Amino acid sequence: MQSPSPDSSGGRPSHPTRTSGLRSFSAGPGVLPSGPSSVQTLPSEFAELLTPRGVRLLQTGRHPGVERVRADPAWRFLPLTDVIDPRRAASVLALLERAVGPHLKPMSQPIPAETILLQEQNYADLLPKAVRVSTAMLESRRSRSWKAAEEIGLPAMLQSPSYRAMAEVLAGRALRARWGIQALRYGPGDYTGPHNDAHPEDPDARDGYFDLHVSLADAGVKQQWIQYARAGHFSELSPLTAPGVLAAYRLPFWHSVGPLVPRPRLLSRARRWVLLGTFLYAPAKPARPSRRVEPHGPAPRPTSRGAGHGR
């Protein structure tokens, strides 16, 4: 997992982050000002962005959408549109745009012309991952985007105990105490082509890993969809246009993000930010051996020489 991939996977963690229990997190009223332009720093805990339903999910693990997918072992993608407070989402987006937006770098990987020009057989087409998006270089602490993000508290929020706790609630299993973070921004026409985020060469991720995304869409976003595969077909669609979406990804699986369609009269606000963490699953704990020894037939009678020997 050396290179982050847009809207689905992060990179290596910048520094270790640890957490303890998730029952104590809560979000009270007024944690973030309601005016989008008045926020100067992000909350130190991810939990402060949540609605009451989001807090309840974090504390108890209960949510109608989560309970539905728990009954489906084949689930791969779960978007929740009612757990992030819309006003707080708008405040976070406005701060990201002011502080980090000027330091984003374009990521453009077009479809190579050779995929057609050098194809020698009918129906033997191969499509590498294509993408156009802007990204913050959070894997390098020397980058301007990292420094700008650190000044407003973005790494701290994405590496807070409540963020990992929410990831464990949605993953349904323990996660490792180190994870990678990433920040992306989609503008008009930006997209991520079909890909699966498989990492067969990484021993820690070859059997799967988990992403948790915070999607923040501005008012100028008219349409953007994620399309993903189910039962071997690209048959599933989900909109990404709500002000705040918390999305869980159980990777790898095939998916793509369609081009962002702007509202013509709000072109300057046609942007969608994605804040994400990439988690590895914690190794399973070995079963503790039973202290009870079941007898196998009658116990041998000790001889006088061996009785008590070695005590």
- The string of DSSP codes covering 191-220 is EEEEE----TT-TTTTT-EEEEEEEEE-TT
45-57 per-residue burial string, b: 16 or more CB within 10 A, e: under 16: bbbbbbbeebbeb
Going from the C-alpha of 170 to that of each of 59, 96, 262, the distances in angstroms are 12, 26, 31
pLDDT higher than threshold 50 for residue 196:
yes
Mean pLDDT of 193-198: 97
pLDDT higher than threshold 60 for residue 301:
no
- Using DSSP's 3-state secondary structure scheme, residue 122 falls into coil
pLDDT tens figures, 128-169? 999 999 999 888 888 999 999 999 999 999 999 999 999 999
pLDDT higher than threshold 50 for residue 94:
yes
Axis-axis angle for helices 86-99, 144-152 (nearest 10) = 140
Give me the pLDDT at residue 4, please.
Answer: 45
Give the Cα separation of 144 and 132 in Å (integer).
21
Mean pLDDT of 50-76: 90
The number of residues in the chain equals: 311
pLDDT tens figures, 44-58? 999 999 999 999 999
Question: Average pLDDT, whole number, for the chain?
Answer: 85
Show the domains of the chain with their CATH numbers.
Answer: 46-110+129-281 (2.60.120.620)
Mean pLDDT of 200-217: 96
Give the Cα separation of 264 and 171 in Å (integer).
38
Decide: pTM greater than 0.85. no
Give me the pLDDT at residue 140, please.
Answer: 85
Give the Cα separation of 185 and 149 in Å (integer).
14
Helices (H) and strands (E) in the chain, counts: 7, 13
Q: Which of 200-204, 282-286, 306-310 has the lowest average pLDDT?
A: 306-310
pLDDT higher than threshold 60 for residue 19:
no
Give me the pLDDT at residue 30, please.
Answer: 39
Give the Cα separation of 311 and 303 in Å (integer).
15
Mean pLDDT of 215-240: 96
